[in-house]
Structure 1
Amino acid sequence: MSWWQASLGFASGLLIALVTAPVGVSGAVFLLPVQLSVLNVPSPAVTPTNLLFNVVATPGALLRYRERGRLGGPLTRLLVAGTLPGVVIGALVRVFLLPGTQVFRLLVACLLLPLGLWLWVRTLRPRHRPAPSGGPGHRAIAALAFAVGVAGGIYGIGGGSILGPILAGRGLPVSRVAPAALASTFVTSVAGALTYAVLALTTPGAIAPEWALGLSCGAGGLIGGYAGAHLQPRLPENGLRLLLGTLAIALACLYAAEALT
């Protein structure tokens, strides 16, 4: 890895995590296009490299949330219980069945675009009736977390970019969703990265992560994530929802453009 790749990876990880950590997104979804299109990380090695970024980057934000007593709780346990087995299955699917990325990008775009728009509409034009305070049920959250875990294992995304908009759109406050989504991202990324490392020992091809690049990006994300989590209490709930919706729409447009070119 050259010095400019390391520098670009560090700067990208820092800036992305600074913006995404307040809403529970690790930033790996936005780092993925940089790795594919700019840094030319081969596939499927880009997936465990992104997971390695999550492993290094998310503890910064988690530490800040823990200092404020917002880490843990039933939502975190539900998300971890669902995404953990999903990410292992997703890694196996990626290596043996689905090495490409075009279909995934289009599916993510189709999911996140309406979610982002929905968050914007619900925030700017709230309904007269209050949303149900309980949010989605436990089984629905666990099933959603499992599906997101599979996607995370296949494409190296933490899952917060999908879990966040859905859970926030269903009425859960972003201040509660963010630390739970990041904790789930960290645990599943560790499991996913280890799964790819084991598969790399027995399977030919570019499967092992690009260690130097993943660590460089993660170091930037560690700093940016801590700073972003520090900023969250200073942002109003509506501002966080609009930020989450904007990130979802931006990612959907980015992935749709890449999938159709």
Structure 2
Amino acid sequence: MDLSVLALLAAMGVLAGIINAAVGSGSLLTLPVLLAIGVPPGVAVRTNTIGMVFSTIGSVIGYRREIAEESRTSRLLPLLATTLVCAATGSVLLLISPGRALEFVVPVLIVVALVLVLLQPRIARSLARRRAADSAADGAAAQNESQGALAGPDAYSSPALLASMGAASLYGGYFTAAQGVLYLGVLGAFTGRPMKSVNAVKNLLSLIVNATAAVVYLLAFAVTGAEIIWAASAAIAVGSLIGGYAGSHLAKRLPEGVLRGIIVLVAVVALIRQLA
């Protein structure tokens, strides 16, 4: 693979890691580059996922204190187990999907992911308004009681939350792109926890999804010879590890509109390339 392409993938990996740590959807920077240079969709998703594992490793290291606090105050095991099983199922579905089906499915998923990226601020504002309205209606006493319940050990283990996160993790195992946006929306809606806490758990879950999918793809490579472009994975891995760690500290200071604009631009270019 050309050195200029590897350099571009590494640079996009840095940006993707920063974006993943902040809101998710960083793979919409790296995956379209692979598609744009002619890598088949299934190979591109596998190559990208293995590289982007390192983004979530960096993010988890950066959020390690917040994750430890959430683990101490809440029961995360049911959520972690649901994420693991559903992510593995989604990655297996990718492996058994026919190549022609992927040529149709991947552009559709890119569009879905783009819509999620564009709507994420509106979703976040809607959730914030709803929580504020509920707090005002219930009064100060009821608000304190509600916050105590949300801070309790069952905040992350309600059946509705687990079902929604299972569906999101199935999607994440299959495609990985924009899973973090889904996670932030679901976790925020069902727990009411502060964004700092939800984002820490989101990064932990993203690590589980990406690592699970990567293990499945590595096994497929060893057993069936499923193609992976290792040089591209390595370039993405180096960049995304740096970006993921830096992003956990810096991403909140960067203009979200700029990051969102880069995602949209790169993904649209990839769509044009795929559909041409």
Q: Which TM class, normalised by the smaller chain length?
A: 0.7 to 0.9
* Deviations 1:9-38, CA, capped at 9 Å, x for gaps: 111111222233134x2722332222212x
One of 108, 116, 123 as aligned partner of 1:103? 108
**Partner amino acid, structure 2, of 1:217:** I
Secondary structure of 1:33's aligned partner: helix
Displacement after TM superposition at 1:175 (Å): 0.7
Displacement of 1:136 after TM fit?
Answer: 7.3
Indicate the SS of the match to 1:59. Answer: helix
Deviates more, 1:99-108 or 1:175-184: 99-108
Residue among 209, 213, 230 paired with 1:211? 230
Alpha carbons 1:26, 1:158 under 8 Å: kept: yes
CA-atom RMSD in angstroms: 3.7
- Name structure 1 gaps, 5 residues minimum: none
In 2, are the aligned partners of 1:12 and 1:220 still within 8 Å (CA)?
yes
> CA, structure 1 residues 139+247, in 2 after alignment: closer, same or farther (shift >3 Å)?
farther
Please say if residues 53 and 207 of structure 2, whose CA atoms lie closer than 8 Å, have aligned partners that are also in contact: yes
User: Quick check: 2:113–2:177 contact (8 Å CA) kept in 1?
Assistant: no
Identity %: 23
Q: Counterpart in 2 of 1:222? A: 241
User: Matches of 1:92 and 1:63 in 2, distance apart?
Assistant: 28
Question: How many Å apart are 1:128 and its aligned residue?
Answer: 3.7
Q: Secondary structure at the match of 1:198?
A: helix
Q: Could you say if the C-alpha distance between residues 220 and 112 of structure 1 is closer, same or farther in structure 2, counting changes exceeding 3 Å? A: closer
Residue in structure 1 matched with residue 90 of structure 2 by the alignment: 90
Q: Distance in 2 between matches of 1:129 and 1:256?
A: 42
Counterpart code for 1:99 = L
The aligned counterpart of 1:129 is 134
* Residues 13 and 224, structure 1, Cα contact 8 Å, conserved in 2: yes
For residues 163-214 of structure 1, the C-alpha deviation after alignment (integer angstroms, 9 at most, x for no partner) is 113323553322112221111121222221121222234546xx33222211
Contact residue 116 and residue 165 of structure 1 kept, 8 A? no
Runs of 5+ unmatched residues, structure 2: 136-142
- Aligned partner letter, 2:216: T
SS at match of 1:209: coil
Using the size of structure 2 for normalisation, the TM-score is 0.73
Partner AA of 2:181 in structure 1: S
Relative to the length of structure 1, the TM-score reads 0.77
Deviations 1:69-104, CA, capped at 9 Å, x for gaps: 434514653442222111221122222234231332
Decide whether the 8 Å contact of 2:32 with 2:269 is kept in 1: no
Aligned to 1:52: 50
In 2, Cα distance between equivalents of 1:108 and 1:252: 13
Given that 2:79 and 2:157 are in contact with CA atoms closer than 8 Å, whether structure 1 keeps it comes out as no
Q: Which amino acid in the other structure matches residue 198 of structure 1?
A: L
Match of 1:41 in 2: 39
Is the contact made by 1:48 and 1:156 (CA closer than 8 Å) also made in structure 2? no
1:184 pairs, out of 181, 201, 205, with 205
Q: Distance in 2 between matches of 1:32 and 1:20?
A: 13
Q: What letter is aligned with 2:7?
A: S
| CA distance in structure 2 between the partners assigned to 1:189 and 1:96 by the alignment | 18
Counterpart of 1:65 in structure 2 is 63
Aligned residues: 249
Q: In proportion to residue count, which structure has more helix?
A: 2
Query: For 2:172, which of 128, 152, 159 is the aligned residue?
Result: 152
SS at match of 1:44: helix
Paired with 1:148 and 1:7, the residues of 2 have a C-alpha distance of 31
The separation in 1 between residues aligned to 2:178 and 2:128, in whole angstroms, is 25
